[in-house]
Amino acid sequence: MADAAPVLRAAGLRKSYRSGDATLEVLRGLDLAVAPGESVSIRGESGSGKSTLLNLLAGLDRPDAGELLWGNEPTAQLALGALTARRGRFLGMVFQAYYLIPEIDALANVLMGARMIGPPGKAERERAAALLKRVGLAERGHHTPAHLSGGERQRVAVARALMNRPKVILADEPTGNLDERTGDEVIHLLLEVCAEEQAALVLVTHNAAHAAKTRRQLFLHQGQWRA
């Protein structure tokens, strides 16, 4: 894996925001290379740039300078529509707040991942059901989010993120709304299913114990990696 070409690569990423009359430099020439199937954790103090970095890696925001490649494809060359379509196939995302649609059941929420790239058919419905089974929710597929616990909701979100067989999963504080035991279970599951699906994992977390479970641990300080 160490010798494989990076599945995700950022070079010299810079991002600043205006704050009144001042300019706040959030990321300062950041480099990152993630190998296929690798798990990487990113920790850092609040305001260190973790969420900004994840938004850039996901193509949800553009850097002021630097380059981002998904596989060997520079994202800067993609128009907005092409970028969105490519994201739906290349990336899966897991968030602290789950972002499930409350009006539809767990199975339909998982299928929303497929709807990002086209109308789901039989194969997609079968995969969604298989993913729910894999995350331990085979009997909960017809329950809406309101009838699921926080841990169950996050398991649905993990299944949704894997729906399109992405090359990379980006997880932003996925245990932030969970108690310690449930959070540990979700991290264990996330690492397991990413390994099974051969998807790289980039995990942003405040939890040092969770970070220690990834293959590589990074710490972000004032927009730069700290040794």
pLDDT in tens, 171-222: 999 999 999 999 999 999 999 999 999 999 999 999 999 999 999 999 999 9
- Supply the pLDDT for residue 1: 47
> Could you give phi then psi for residue 208, rounded to 5 degrees?
-65, -35
Residue 138 in tokens: 């085979």
Residue 33 in tokens: 């290379």
Sorted by sequence, the CB contacts under 8 Å of residue 62 that are 6+ apart come out as: 56, 76
Helix (H, G, I), strand (E, B) or coil at 21: coil
Hey, which bits of 20-90 come out as E strands? 22-34, 39-44, 65-70, 73-74
Per-residue pLDDT tens digits for 47-73: 899 999 999 999 999 999 999 999 999
Per-residue pLDDT tens digits for 91-137: 999 999 999 999 999 999 999 989 888 889 999 999 999 999 999 99
Helix (H, G, I), strand (E, B) or coil at 99: coil
Task: Report all structural domains of the chain as residue ranges with CATH numbers, in order of start.
Answer: 8-225 (3.40.50.300)
Cα→Cα distances 178→74, 109, 187, Å: 36, 20, 11
- Counting residues of the chain whose pLDDT is more than 70, the rounded percentage is 99
Q: Over the chain, what is the mean pLDDT?
A: 94
- Tell me the Cα Rg of the chain: 17
Angle (nearest 5°) at CA 186 between 182 and 190: 175
Provide the residue count of the chain.
227
> Could you give phi then psi for residue 210, rounded to 5 degrees?
-70, -40
